[in-house]
Chain A
Amino acid sequence: MLKMLENILGEKYHFHGFSKGARALKFLTYKVPSLLILDIDMPELNGFELLKIIKNDENLKNVPVIFLTSNGDRDHVIGAFKTGANDYVVKPVKEEILMEKVLKLMNDKSNKDMFF
């Protein structure tokens, strides 16, 4: 999954991928990315937990977040929006849709980007 995202986005943006939530959180204390793509299922710290932490953090709460969800699961989507996600993408991810959403949220803020 990460490899595919890197292939899609890596050319245009600076991409940093993590397979574990806890490691990603550590990264966020170093750097504030321009955009975050979050999957729900991750070992150690899942997407919801991480999203909550980000939205309660002064430095990070304005980072736009796109949520990845399987089969358009309504509960997940609603939960993600309630927690503060800006948008969501249903797997399987269509490249054009993802790019459109990323472009919209990035709004030419900068050329930095990160995902996991």
Chain B
Amino acid sequence: MSHEIRTPINAVLGMNEMILRECKDEQLLSYAANIQSSGKTLLFLINDILDLSKIESGKMEIIPVEYELFDLLLDLWNVIYMRANEKNLKINFLIDETLPKTLYGDDVRVKQIVTNLLTNAVKYTPEGEVELKVNYQKDQDNTILLIISVKDTGIGIKQEDMGRLFEDFRRLDEGKNRKIEGTGLGMNITLSLLKLMGGDINVESEYQKGSVFTVKIPQKVVNNEPCGSFEKARNMQRQGKLGSQESFEAPQANILVVDDNAMNLTVFKSLLKRTKVNVVTASSGKECLELVKKSPYHIIFMDHMMPEMDGIETLHEIKKLTDFPNDGVPIIVLTANALSGARESYLAEGFTDFLTKPIDGDKLEKMIVYYLPKEIVHKKENDDSQTEESSSNKSEYDKYSEYGISIEQGLSYSKGNLDVYLDLIDMFLNDDNQQDKLEKFIFEENMNDYGIQVHALKGNARTLGANELADIAFEHEKQSKAGNIDYVDQHWGELVEKWNTAREGFEQFCIDNGRIEADESETVDMDREIFEISPEDFEAAASLIDDFETEKALEMLNQWLKNNLRQDERKRIKSAVMALEKEFDEEKAIEILRGN
């Protein structure tokens, strides 16, 4: 049943996506943007209703399995961390270190319940923090009562509304909360699932102050060993050491990956470096078709969104081929579309499997092991040669948040491998072309290509942890897809500014990690005498700009850059040049040079 409902909606959304990408008529584009947002809302609603109807018809089954408590909690952290981050909310997980390590129960449904509580908390909390607390009571011999509470500093619930909290489609304080997304079914599903598992829920709330939702769920204990520190587990996950204790090597394996974004291809290759898998890359559907006709691959990974020929079209073209060396090879789609139901629709198109972007290294490895012929996969114990990061790095990374960058997040996408991360940063810093391209598209009012290009920028920024830049790029992507050239034009400066800030942050990070830019002339040569620039010299350059002698000032600054400079001075001069040449903001350049 669920598939029958989801498939046509996904088809509508997919076709609409084509309109958004290919249509040039602004009016039609704005209609299509509306179809997209309503379609997605409809899909969320349907997923909830399907769950509820399963519950009501008694078909919802609780499927208990053995699971690691920390796996569940880490998943919850990953889901909620991003959402909270977008709203600048603080997230706090307080986990009792004596909780049993391995439990037996329906981890999928436990996760669904707590995810619902956490997302509600984030949704209804405009500022402050959301706290998840987990502890337990011993119940019977091998059973515990898992006590999970979610506390927020949000808008709270009025006393008179408390009783209506679990009604279907109910959203309290409707007038005030009408802008909040969701179906209003979440709490009802939560309550039903709790009943099925023999648990219960308690709500305390103070209007305008915040709420605490506490659920108690009985779970069997498999391994009584204490789980230990969650903070430590999170750090280990960050370094890619959890869940991938067992790694593999497959030097005979050949994998083809198709993506129009060069950075994604590099990420992909880097993530698989230590597995010794041969990764062949193609940057378009057309190139992919040429390659699959020539040599055999064990797996093909294909991006969905590509210009000219997208992943689905390419897949269909491959399926039409006969007498070629890749008949029946698994083709896995790479997509940022993580909506539930998206998986089904990709499989219906003919893809073998589905992997969401940004690519998670562990999931990628697991998938590759699954699809590779067993005889060419050699399992091996994880070596510890990877860079060991101490947990104290977290606070050390905090300073990059002023550049809108979460190093922690960026590192986690590179599986905690600092070298891989720095390679990606290098690529980001050296891609000068992208900005010129975008600017050209605005100038030509080509919102179609602007949308595609800014989409790539958003993806790259997100992969590196440059969240502020990614957020702005995302807004530009949405607006350009809706054909809103005025918005893009007016907010271009804002995008450039965030872009430059992110660049500065990454440059600093490279310096801090001993990775100085590859260009020889950029490095400080300790054997040569350092070229000193006095405060008076800086003032002279600033005064030239102030007197509108910008060209002379630029000449002076570029001349300085040819010398053996201290890193901080080089950075300062480059920022000033950037402000003049790219942003046409003379006041900013003056401020930088005067050190204000």
Contact = CB atoms under 8 A, between A and B. Distances in A.
A92 B443 contact: yes
A31 interface: yes
B584 A2 contact: yes
Contacts of B547: 30
Contact of A23 (B436, B445, B486, B586): B586
Interface string B557-596: 0000000000000000000000000111111000000000
Nearest to A73: B486
Contacts of B584: 2, 17-19, 116
The majority secondary structure among interface residues of chain B is helix
Nearest to B445: A92
A1 B586 contact: no
Given A3-B436, A70-B485, A19 B443 contact: no
B492 interface: yes
A18 to B, nearest CB: 6
A97 to B, nearest CB: 13
Given A1-B492, A2-B584, A20-B585, A93 B548 contact: no
B490 interface: yes
B440 interface: yes
Interface string B294-331: 00000000000000000000000000000000000000
Contacts of A27: 548
Contact of B439 (A1, A17, A19): A1
Nearest to B590: A23
Interface centre among B442, B547, B582, B584 (most CB of A within 10 A): B584
Interface in A69-116: 70-71, 91-93, 116
Contacts of A30: 547-548
Contact of B582 (A3, A16, A23, A93): A3
A84 B585 CA distance: 27
Interface in A23-48: 23, 27, 30-31, 41, 43
A18 B548 CA distance: 11
A3 B435 CA distance: 11
Given A19-B585, A23-B586, A116-B584, A1 B489 contact: yes
Contact of A19 (B442, B485, B493, B550): B493
Interface residues of A, number: 21
Contact of B489 (A18, A43, A70, A116): A70
Interface residues of B, number: 23
B384 interface: no
Contacts, number: 49
Contacts of B586: 18, 23
A26 to B, nearest CB: 8
Nearest to A115: B584
Nearest to B582: A3
Interface string A1-17: 11110000000000011
Contact of A20 (B436, B492, B587): B587
Given A19-B585, A20-B587, A91 B550 contact: no
Contacts of A116: 584
Contacts of B485: 70-71, 91
B443 A93 contact: yes
Contacts of B583: 19
Contacts of B442: 1
B174 interface: no
A91 B486 CA distance: 10
A17 B493 CA distance: 14
A11 to B, nearest CB: 14
B575 to A, nearest CB: 16
Contacts of B550: 16
A41 B489 contact: yes
Contacts of A16: 548, 550
Contacts of A17: 584
A27 B550 CA distance: 11
B443 A1 contact: yes
Contacts of B587: 20, 23
A1 B445 CA distance: 11
A4 B548 contact: no
A16 B440 CA distance: 19
B290 interface: no
Contacts of A31: 548
A75 B442 CA distance: 22
B596 to A, nearest CB: 16
B444 interface: yes
Nearest to B436: A3
B443 A4 contact: yes
Interface in B441-458: 442-446
A26 B132 CA distance: 55
Interface of B: 436, 439-440, 442-446, 485-486, 489-490, 492-493, 547-548, 550, 582-587
9 contacts: A1-B489, A3-B439, A4-B440, A19-B584, A23-B587, A27-B548, A41-B490, A71-B486, A91-B489
Interface of A: 1-4, 16-20, 23, 27, 30-31, 41, 43, 70-71, 91-93, 116
List the 5 closest A-B pairs by CB distance, nearest first: A92-B445, A4-B443, A19-B584, A17-B584, A2-B584
Given A1-B492, A16-B548, 16 more contacts: A1-B442, A3-B582, A16-B550, A18-B586, A19-B493, A19-B583, A20-B587, A27-B548, A31-B548, A91-B445, A91-B485, A91-B489, A92-B443, A92-B444, A92-B446, A93-B443
